Amino acid sequence: MNLALFDLDNTLLACDSDYEWGQFLVDRGVLDRHAYEAQNAAYYEQYKAGTLDIHEFLGFALRPLAEHTPEDLDRWHADFMATRIRPSISAAARSLVRRHLAAGDLCAVVTATNSFVTGPIAREFGVPHLVATEPERHAGRFTGGVAGIPCFREGKITRVEDWLAAQGRRLQDFPQSTFYSDSHNDLALLERVTRPVAVDPDPKLAAVARARGWPAVSLRFP
């Protein structure tokens, strides 16, 4: 059995689900446009630049989950999937995941975006495992805090290793381990697998991939 790990935002998706979720809530009138939109865009630029303070960002991004009921959040997310996410999934992305599943690989989506946003997206792809930043819950409601280590940068390695350890496995146990990502923020995990693949990479990752001879692919729409 081989291991196949998939980043989600701008890799399997032709968008960033964390950013799009915030914009979706703004467009629905759930969040104030003036107060939220500019800050959401600023954090996204910091992420792309590699300067994002993940704890500061999560304090911002998880707050809306704490301010609304699970029923409202689930209803909004169903609309979010229909209007923002499914149109951002290419046939090539679906085909890539299907090939790994058909080969019998152990597959997981590994993403910094929180599991409330990304759980339904992983299920849309048929991927049975999700390693994501976990929003804290208490008495059935989100608190706005983070449970455990954010699944970001080096934290992705820790979270993947913990997930595998819970199954009695280690990363080095697999004959081949593949990680697909678009972002230089994922270099730590890309360097740990036996087969790193750059997917529609940002300029920094593209330069590293060229220098190291890593394969590069595109999953975007024609």
Residue 182 is a catalytic residue: no
| Residue showing tokens 């300029």 | 203
| Cβ-proximal residues to 33 (8 Å cutoff; 6+ apart), any chain | 26
- Alpha carbons within 13 angstroms on the beta-carbon side of residue 9 total 22
Q: Per the residue annotation, which of 7, 16, 105, 182 is the catalytic one?
A: 7
Nearest to 93 by CA among 199, 194, 210, 193: 199
Q: Per the residue annotation, which of 9, 16, 182, 186 is the catalytic one?
A: 9
CA–CA separation, 48 vs 3, rounded Å? 27
Q: Which two tokens stand for residue 112?
A: 């910094």
Residue 9 is a catalytic residue: yes
The catalytic residues are 7, 9
